[in-house]
Amino acid sequence: MDYQHYVVQAGDTLYKIAQAYSVSMSELIRLNNLQHPDRIYPGQVLLLPAASEQPVPMTIPEPYFTYAAWLYEAYAGKDSELSAMTTYLYQAVVFDQPEFDGLLRPIAFEELNHLEQLGRMLRHLGVDPRYGSFHSGHWIDWRAKYLRYTNDLCTALEQNMEDEAKAHRGYLELCEKIPIPEIQTVLSHMAADEERHYHAFLAAKQQFCAPCEPAPIPEPVPEPETPAGPPEDGEAG
C-alpha cells in the first residue's frame, strides 16, 4: 500500500482529517498506532492512504465515537465486563468449592458473552475493540489491579452484588443515551442478565452469610398520583 504524509494543522481533529481524506478514523488510528486518538497536535505527521487507493470503509460519524467511548468503559474499563469475568474466575479458583464453582463460573461465562457483544458493538461503531477505556480524555489500558481481590466469601458476594447492581443501572442508562435500536436491544438484554446475577449472589449471601441489607436494584419510579380536587357541594370533606 502506498502512503502520503499529512502535517496536522491548528484546529484539526482526527474526525476532520478522516472526512477530508475519505478515510475511516479506525484506519487512521491503526496506521499511526495512535494510543491517544483524542490528542493530536500541530506539526504532528500522520500517515494517510495514498489517493490512488481503492475507497476505504465508511467514515465514522462523530457522535459514534462518543458512543464508543461510553461502551469502552463497560467493555474494559475499571468496572467492566472484563473485570467482572476475571474477578469471578479468580473467586471460583480461590474458594474452590462445588457450590461456589457452580455459581461463579456460569456467571463468568455470561460476562464473557457480554464482553464479546460489546466488542461487536465497538466494531459496528468503527473502532478497535482493544482492552481499555478513556479516562479524562486519555486512553488507559485495562489493568489486573481493577479486580476486587478478597479471600473472604461474604465480602466477595457483597462486592459482586454491588458491581452487578451498578452494571444493571449502567446498561439502562446507555440504552437511553445511545439512540441505535440494535445496540439498545442488546444492552437491554444485558441489563436483565446483570439483574439476574445480582439476585443469584443475593441468594448465596443469604444462605452462607449473616443477614444484612443488600444493595438494592433500582425500581421504576411510579407516576405521582394527581391530587383530588375540592369536594363538590354536599360531599364530605
Residue 196 lies in a domain: yes
Q: Specify the CATH number for the domain of residue 191.
A: 1.20.1260.10
Residue 226 lies in a domain: no
Residue 66 lies in a domain: yes
pLDDT in tens, 52-67: 444 444 455 567 889 9
Tell me the CA end-to-end span of the chain in Å, nearest whole number. Answer: 86
Amino acid at 33: N
Tell whether the model's pLDDT for residue 36 goes beyond 80. Answer: no
pLDDT in tens, 94-149: 999 999 999 999 999 999 999 999 999 999 888 899 999 998 888 999 999 999 99
- Quick one: 158 and 202 in the same domain? yes
Amino acid at 122: L
Q: How many domains does the chain have?
A: 2
Specify the higher pLDDT residue, 166 or 226: 166
- Quick one: 146 and 173 in the same domain? yes
Residue 131 lies in a domain: yes
- Quick one: 117 and 19 in the same domain? no
Side-chain-facing half-sphere of 32: CA atoms under 13 Å: 26
| Contact in structure between 57 and 27 (CB atoms under 8 Å) | yes
What's the full length of the chain, in residues?
A: 237
- Quick one: 144 and 182 in the same domain? yes
| Contact in structure between 131 and 71 (CB atoms under 8 Å) | no
Using a cut of 0.75, tell me whether the model's pTM lies above it: no
- Quick one: 112 and 27 in the same domain? no
Element spanning 64, H or E: helix 62-76
List Cα–Cα distances, 1 to 6, 47, 126, 154, 196, in angstroms: 16, 11, 21, 57, 50
| Contact in structure between 67 and 125 (CB atoms under 8 Å) | yes
Residue 132 lies in a domain: yes
- Quick one: 203 and 107 in the same domain? yes
- Quick one: 73 and 37 in the same domain? no
Residue 136 is predicted with a pLDDT of 83
Instruction: For residue 146, give its domain range.
Output: 62-208
Interatomic CA distance for residues 213 and 198, integer angstroms: 14
- Quick one: 11 and 76 in the same domain? no
pLDDT in tens, 183-205: 999 999 999 999 999 999 999 99
